[in-house]
Amino acid sequence: MDKLYEGKAKILYTTDNPGVLLSHFKDDATAFNARKRGTIVGKGQINCSVSAHLFRLLEGAGVATHFIDQTAPDEMQVKTARILPLEVVVRNIAAGSLTQRTGLQSGTVLKHPLVEFFYKNDELGDPLVTTDHIELLELATPSQIQQLRELSLRVNSLLQRFFEQCGITLVDFKLEFGIDQTPGSSGGILLADEISPDTCRLWDSNSSDPQARVLDKDRFRLDLGGIEGAYQTVMERILAQPV
């Protein structure tokens, strides 16, 4: 196995099969464009297991993902894909950068889900971009942008319903997509990366306390403590719901 790419939270390895990569989930945690760094013990296994479960849920509902199989607690096989340099954020409730950008109060329920695109570029600090920017920079075609928006909203409906059954409110989340590069594929769009407490804001539906209800990476970003316990709670509740 050769290392193909090492990111902040995962390492990708090639395998003997050109259509299959191995994704290893790390315990390393970063925030604020990697200016804050740390370790969340057990995060790799939790994020891998949560992502595998959610990818299975989405595949079962007809959303094409890169997920093939979970091969170890912190490892999954994924399809070879060319990742688009975009982060698609879907929001149901105002939090994080949306509150800073718009002045909306954290916790404000949005009338409709909001889709935002960010340009994946560490040097620029992953800026918010409009669809015109995306076309100008040729990060995706107009038809791909439309597909990303529709897919993301569909994923939001499916995840929102699922998380509700787990007693968790899905506040917002970030998705990444890739172009299928497995040999013989027709090059469709695949949902890629991960869906985990690192990439979603998840609030305990049974709590209204603004700090106690946080079950996601905001506990690390904002130094709220109890990170491992929160991630563990998310995993237990999610894995208890069959897909």
Regarding 79 and contact with ligand UDP (CB under 6 A), the answer is no
Size of the site for ligand UDP (CB under 6 A): 14
* Structure tokens, 61: 């509902």
- In DSSP notation, 91-148 reads EEE--HHHHHHH-PPTTPEEEEEEEEEEE--GGGT--EE-HHHHHHTTSS-HHHHHHH
Whether the Cβ atoms of residue 13 and residue 24 lie closer than 8 Å to each other: yes
Q: Which stretch binds ligand UDP (CB under 6 A): 21-29, 75-83, 95-103, 105-113?
A: 95-103
Closest contact distance (angstroms) between CB of 129 and ligand UDP is 13
Distance CA 89, CA 71 (A): 28
Residue 203 interacts with ligand UDP (CB under 6 A): yes or no: no
Query: Looking at 199, 214, 227, 233, which residue binds ligand UDP (CB under 6 A)?
Result: 199
Of the pair 126, 228, the CB lying nearest ligand UDP is at 126
Q: What binding mask, one character per residue, do residues 127-156 give for ligand UDP by CB under 6 A, x or -?
A: ------------------------------
Report the Cα 31 to chain-centroid distance in Å: 14
Determine whether 186 is exposed, middle or buried from the number of CB atoms within 10 Å of its CB (0-12, 13-18, 19+). exposed
| Of 13 and 119, CB closest to ligand UDP | 119
Q: Which residue in 30, 37, 46 sits closest to 195, CA to CA?
A: 46
Tokens encoding 117: 């695109």
Among 155, 190, 200, 238, binds ligand UDP (CB under 6 A): 200
172 binds ligand UDP (CB under 6 A): yes
Q: Select from 24, 43, 53, 201 the one that contacts ligand UDP (CB under 6 A).
A: 201
Interface with ligand UDP by CB under 6 A: which residues? 87, 89, 95-98, 126, 172-174, 199-201, 217
